[in-house]
Structure 1
Amino acid sequence: MRLDPPAPEPGQEATLWVTDVHPWSYVLLVVNGQPVRQVEWRAQPSGVWTWKWTFVAPDEEAYSLVFYHDCHTGCVERGRMHIGMGEPPTPTDLTPTKLGVVSVHPQRDWRGRSGWDVELTYAQLSEEAFWGIDDLAMRVHQATRKGLRVLVRVDYAQGQSMPPRADQLALTEYLQYLRRLARDERLRGVYGYVLGSGFNELNSNSQAPERSVTPEWYARIFNGYGEPVTHADNAVQAIRAENPYVRVLVGPVRPWNTDQDGDRRYAIDAPWLNYMNTLVATLDEGARTKSAAGIPLTAPDGFALHVPGRPEAAEAIGRKGYEEPRLDLLRAEWGGAQAGFRIYRDWLNIINAYPTTQGLPVYITSSNTFVPDEGAPPAQNYPQGWLTSALEEISGEPQVQALCWFLDEDRSGDTRWDWFSLTRHPGRLIYAAEEFDALLQK
C-alpha cells in the first residue's frame, strides 16, 4: 500500500495505490470508517494487480486505511495502513449502563458510559444508501469507537419485517444477507443481531398479508423448527457458521396487537401473549430437537423486547404519569394482561417458562411513551421523570440488559420520527433529553 502524500493534511486530496498478486474482485477502501467507492484498477505485465483510490483526508490526527475484497458476500480485510498513530483504541475504562437509544446521534456525549445503540438494515436494500450494508458498517464503526454495544436489527424489507410465510425465495435472500452481515469483517464489533420486529402485526406483513409471519414460521426461519433436523438453512446456523461469537436474538413481538394469535394459549388469554407463548415454545422445541440430534447452539442467545409505557392509562388515574413504569396496569378486558411498561414482566414470564430460553438475557430495544391505540407521541405526552422510573424498574431485573429509547435521531431523512427524537427534543421531549443526559452522569 502506497499513499501520496504519505501524511496528508486534513482536507487534502490523497491517492492510495494497493498492489497485490491476487486479482481480487469486489474491492473496497475504507478511510476512517467511511467507504471510498471510486476505484481504478489495472493488471501489470509482471502478474500483479494495482488498485487506485483518490480521497480527501479526514479531519483526524490518526486514522486507518483498510483494503477489503469480496465485499459482495461480506468484506474480508486484506491490508491496512495507519496514518499518524492509527485509529485510537476503543475506550476500555467506560462504566456500563443499561441505557441506550435507537439510531444514536454520532455526536452524543455518553459521559464516560458504555451504553447501547440499535441500528436497522434491510435485506432487500442491502446496496442502498443508509439502509444498506456499507452505511450500516460506517454507523457501527462510529458507535463502537465510542465504546457502545451495538445491536443490529435485520428486517427483510420495509413494511415486511420477515420473509413472508412459505416464501422460500424470500427466505433464501434473507439468509444470504444474514451470512453476509456475519461474514463482513467491518461488522465484527456488532454485539448481536435482532431478527425482525413486530412481525405479529399486519403492518409488518405488507408484502403478503395473506401469508403473515406466524410463530411457527418465525421459528422455522430462526432455528429450523419443523424442518428435517440435518437441514441448516436457518438464521442461527447461518450466522454461527460465519461468526460463532456474535449473539443471535429473537425480535420483539408487538404488545397489545390483535392481528394474530397463537395456538398455544398463555395463562392470560390475550392474542399478543398467545403469539409470544407459541413463538417461544416452538423455538424451544426446535432447539431441543436439534440438540437431541447432536446439533447444539441453535437456541436464541436472548430476546429483544418492545416495551412502551402508557402514562395516561385509565388504570393509573390518581397516580403521577412518571410513576407508570412502576405500576401494575392490569387491564380487565385483556384478562389481566399488563397494559403498560410492565408488559416486560409478561414477556419474561413466557421466556422463563421453557428449558432452552429460561433465564436468557433480554434487551428492551424500543421504549417510549407512545402506544398506537392512544396516538400521542412522546413530544406531547412525556411526563418528566418517566425515564428515570423506567430505568429504576428494570435495574432490579438482572435479566434485562438494556433499555433503549426510540429514538435518538433518524438520519435516514424520514421526518415522521421527529416527535420521538431525543436529539431534536421537540415539545415535552426536552424533559426526556435532559433526563437521559442526567441519568448517564449518575
Structure 2
Amino acid sequence: MARTRPTADAAGQAALAAYRSGFREESGYLDYGRVGPLSTTVVAETLGQTDVLSRARFGSLDDLGQQQARAVSAVARATGFRSDQIALQPNTTTGLMHALFGLTGEVLLSPADFPSLPFAAARAAEALHVVTPLWLGLDGLGGDGLGGDGPHGRVTPGLIREQLTDSVGVVAVCLVDSRTGFRVDLDGIRQVIGDRLLVVDAIQGFGVVDAPWEVADVVATGGQKWMRAGWGTGFLALSDRALDCLVPVFSGFAGAEPDEDGGDPWDIITRPRAGAAAFQVSNGDAVAQARFAAALEEVETVGLTRIEAAVADNVSELIDLADEYAVPLLSSRDERERAGIVVLDPPRELLTLLSASLHNHGVTATVRGGTVRLSVHAELSTDTVEMVRAAFTSYSSAASY
C-alpha cells in the first residue's frame, strides 16, 4: 500500500518537532538572551568539521574553504540581502564597529541600548571625529538607568520623530532591547526616518523574529544566542545605499582586491573590494562558519514563522505563570512588542528573594539592574515550567510572610 504524502502543515509540524528535539540543555535553562547552548545539529557539524581539520586528509581541507560561501548564502536566504552585500563577522560588535567607524555625520541612537551600539558610536567619534552621536531621549534618563522619554526607555517611531532633525543622517536601534525585551517597530521607524540610513543591532532577535530586514540598511548580529551556533559567528549586511556611504576603515588583506594575476595581494597594497567583502580584516574561522551555516539551514528547514510562533506561545506561558504568582512584569504583554524575553520587575527589596528562589530551584536566568530576565526559545519543557512554578511558589510564600 502506497504511503500518503504528508501535507505541508504536517511536514512543517514534523520539522518543528525535530527542531525542538535538538535542544540539549538541561531543564531550567532560561537564558538564551545571554547565550544559546549549541543545538544537536550544530554539535554534529562542529564534530565533523573539527575531524576534517584535525586529520587533514589529502584534499579534505578544500571543503573548509567553502564554508564562508555556504554561510553567506544561508544569510542571504534568511535576510533577503544579496551575497555581495554580506560579510561574515565574528560577532555583532565587530560588525557594528565596522559600520559606525565607516559613517559620517549625526547618528541618532539610544544611550540605553546594549553597549555595542553606544560604544561603537562614541569610539568612532573620539577616534575619527567624523561621527557625532545624538543621544535619543538623553534628558529623560532616569535613576533606573533606562534612557529615553518612552516607557522604560523603549525606542518607538514616535520617540524618534520627536528628536529627529534635518542634520541626522543615520538612525541606529536594537531590534530587541536586552533589558526590557521590547521589540522595535522597524517598519514604523523606516516610515518616520525617510531615506536616512537605518542601522539595526539584531542580536536579541535574529533566529526567532521574522523581521522586515528589507527596510534596514545595516544589519549586524551574532549567532551565539538565539541561533545556538556558538561564539565566533555572525554577519554584517549592507544595503547598496549603505555601501555607497560607508568607508571600509578596517579593511584588511582579506577584504582587498586581488593582485593583477587574480591572487592574494602579495607585495602590493590593493584597494578594498567592492561590496560588503571590503569590511573584512582577515580570513574567518571555517569551523565557526560551518556552525553558523548549519544553524541557519536548520532554521530555514523549519521555517522562521513556526519558530517565532512557538517562542510566542512559550513566552505567554511564562507570563501567565508570573501573573498567577503576582510577580510584576516589566516586559510587554503585546505579542507585537516582544520576542523571547520576559522581564520580571519585583519590588527592589524583594529582588534578592526572587533571584535566590530561581537559583535554588535550578532556573538559569539573568539578574541585572533590579530586574530578572527569563529568555525562552521554541522548546520549553514541562520540567522547566515546574521548576519556575516551584521558584515562584517559594518567592510568593516568603514575600507574603
TM-score calculated relative to the size of structure 1: 0.25
User: If each structure's strand is expressed as a fraction of its own residues, which one has the higher value?
Assistant: 1
User: If each structure's helix is expressed as a fraction of its own residues, which one has the higher value?
Assistant: 2
Query: Which has the bigger relative contact order, CA under 8 A and spacing at least 6?
Result: 2
